[in-house]
Amino acid sequence: MRGVVFQSDTILLVKEVADGAWTLPGGWADVNESPKESVVREIREESGYETKPFKLLAIYDRSKHGHVPAFPFHVYKLFILCDLIGGASTTSVETSDVGFFAENELPNLSLSRVTPSQIRRFFEHHRRPNLPTDFD
């Protein structure tokens, strides 16, 4: 589960402590937690921002999108577009930096979590909000 949050024409990314690379805030859903609840919690925990989810942008089969390393089990990744409604930039035990980036100024991405082509696709969704949900 990953949250996609835009501020003007920039996207919210967090820097992972685990690999020193950047990603959309997110992670695994907790037991008995809905996708909405999960993405709001993950964004708040990893970035400090409060958000309101409103559109499922994509459901991707992790094994079909160049994520490395491969997992020994099957994973579907949900990417949920969220409105920024409050909070402030704050790091966590999982993140060492928080920032908003333009499409042509993306930092080194954590390919286990998100790929450059996925980020480009979400910018396309941002420019064209009537695009349908992507799925494999």
Q: List, in sequence order, every beta strand (DSSP E) within 1-136.
A: 2-7, 10-16, 22-23, 49-61, 76-87, 95-102, 134-135
The answer to whether residue 27 is domain-embedded is yes
Which CATH number does the domain housing residue 115 bear? Answer: 3.90.79.10
Contact (Cβ atoms closer than 8 angstroms) between residue 3 and residue 25: yes
**pLDDT tens profile 12-27:** 999 999 999 999 999 9
> What is the reported pTM?
0.96
The answer to whether residue 136 is domain-embedded is no
Instruction: Provide the residue range defining the domain that includes 85.
Output: 2-131
User: What total number of domains does the chain contain?
Assistant: 1
**pLDDT tens profile 72-109:** 989 999 999 999 999 999 999 999 999 999 999 999 99
The answer to whether residue 92 is domain-embedded is yes
- The verdict on whether omega for the bond into residue 72 sits within 30 degrees of 0, i.e. cis, is no
